Amino acid sequence: MIALDDHASGRHFLQIPGPSPVPDRILRAISLPTIDHRGPEFATLGKKVIGGLQQVFQTEHPVVIYPASGTGAWEAALVNVASPGDSLLMYETGHFASLWQKMAQRLGLEPEFLALPGIDETGLPRSWRHGVQADLIEERLRKDGAHRIKAVCVVHNETSTGVTSDIAAVRRAIDAAGHPALLMVDTISGLASADYRHDAWGVDVTVSGSQKGLMLPPGISFNALSPKAIEAARTARLPKAFWAWDEIVEMNKGGYWPCTPSTNLLYGLSEALDMVLEQGLPAVFARHQRWGEGVRTAVRAWGLPTQCADERVHSPVLTGVITPQGVDADALRRLIHERFDLSLGAGLGKLRGRMFRIGHLGDCNDLTLMAALTGVEMGLKLAGVPLAGSGVLAAMAFFAGTPLVDVASRPIE
């Protein structure tokens, strides 16, 4: 019997917005022998990765590394600063914001969930098509005269929708309301892809992870801290042991950890930081911005709406594409996976079956992205979706006609 398979050779196209493809250079670094995590060589590695992460988070303050997925770092952020029954102001931008809110409830906190009300012409919630509205946060904080709200929690790059939020505007809103709440931000999928500035934007805790812009396998995640967050952790009363910042930050000063760190993932992290910092953050951000524009050019040519309904806040990391009413986006994704060995992101939560997501982050380039768009266009045609035109041709013209220097020369904000 001969097994017939359309894709028994070549690399799988992992075009989901995380985990993103891991470059060979990082895979080779991870394959090095595991060393003694209390030995002298280890301290060099430990100090290097923490210093490199500080550059990527754009902070001078401690960054804590956990051997956990991003969800662990979410929990760490909450349990370090909150006490039982504390109120939080969280903002509904999509599925990941919703999961963080649910976690806060499970931890015995009282998260209030702000959202832009209503459903729009696509039948989808407006709040899942726009970024955080800082004025709603300011308005709510002004009503909290007793300062019961402990922290404002927002997602910077909402991976379920492809919408980013203006974090500096959220900080301005908190300050304008004269409110002492901490600002906690999830940029699990934004770090090392979209511009992010922990110190300059006045963020108290930033949560991130390894398997998105940093191009690592899943398995480690981060909390970047501010002096105010460290101070809050001293008196916060939710139980914390494994996640507690104090012991980790103390031992990190020497380049070590209280428990066994993920040594081989730290080798990978060291390599990833070299790659990102050698190129320079502005170049990395411009590269992602350009891919995002190229993919949106294709989506526009197909005549399909993007999940993000606000031109100013399209994610440079991924693009959500809404399928026409009656077209099951999950069936479309299955077809594309079976025929072309291409994985696309699913519609999550309230978007299930209504949209799919194209990741354009990390170890990507014009031609891998063109191939992915070709797979999507072939799939859309096979699924009988009427298209206004060829997204592939439009994206080819975009990529050929838009050198990176053109994008990099524009101001980021």
Ligand X SMILES: *Cc1c(COP(=O)(O)O)cnc(C)c1O
Asked if 307 and 392 touch (Cβ cutoff 8 Å), the reply is no
- By Cβ distance, which residue is nearest to ligand X? 70
Alpha helices in 107-221 (DSSP H): 134-143, 167-176
CB of 211 to ligand X, least distance (A): 6
Nearest CB to ligand X, comparing residues 101 and 226: 101
- Does position 69 interact with ligand X (CB under 6 A)? The reply is yes
Q: Which two tokens stand for residue 315?
A: 């994610």
> How many Cβ atoms are within 10 Å of 100's Cβ, its own excluded?
26
* Interacting residues with ligand X between 123 and 182 (CB under 6 A): 155, 159
Q: Which two tokens stand for residue 341?
A: 């060995």
Residue range at the interface with ligand X (CB under 6 A); choices 133-141, 169-177, 185-193, 304-312: 185-193
* Residues whose CB falls within 8 Å of the CB of residue 127, separated by 6 or more in sequence, listed in order: 92, 93, 115, 116, 117
- Does position 209 interact with ligand X (CB under 6 A)? The reply is yes
> How many Cβ atoms are within 10 Å of 270's Cβ, its own excluded?
17
Residue range at the interface with ligand X (CB under 6 A); choices 64-72, 104-112, 262-270, 399-407: 64-72
369 Cα distance to chain centroid: 19
Residue range at the interface with ligand X (CB under 6 A); choices 122-130, 137-145, 186-194, 371-379: 186-194
- Does position 71 interact with ligand X (CB under 6 A)? The reply is yes
Nearest CB to ligand X, comparing residues 58 and 69: 69
Q: What is the dihedral of CA 293, 351, 91, 158, to 10 degrees?
A: -30
Nearest CB to ligand X, comparing residues 211 and 374: 211
- Give strand ranges (E) for 121-220: 149-155, 157-158, 163-164, 182-186, 205-209
Asked if 224 and 57 touch (Cβ cutoff 8 Å), the reply is yes
- Does position 186 interact with ligand X (CB under 6 A)? The reply is yes
Nearest CB to ligand X, comparing residues 208 and 226: 208
CB of 29 to ligand X, least distance (A): 20
Nearest CB to ligand X, comparing residues 18 and 52: 18
Out of 189, 223, 297, 307, which residue is the one contacting ligand X (CB under 6 A)?
Answer: 189
- Does position 218 interact with ligand X (CB under 6 A)? The reply is yes
Q: Which of 279, 271, 309 is nearest to 408 (CA)?
A: 279
- Does position 19 interact with ligand X (CB under 6 A)? The reply is no
Out of 21, 46, 70, 255, which residue is the one contacting ligand X (CB under 6 A)?
Answer: 70
How many residues at the interface with ligand X, by CB under 6 A?
Answer: 12
Distance between CA atoms of 408 and 196, rounded to whole angstroms?
16
The crossing angle, in degrees rounded to 10, of helices 263-279 and 281-302 is 80
Q: Which two tokens stand for residue 288?
A: 């992602």
Residues of this chain that bind ligand X (CB under 6 A)? 18, 69-71, 96, 155, 159, 186, 188-189, 209, 218
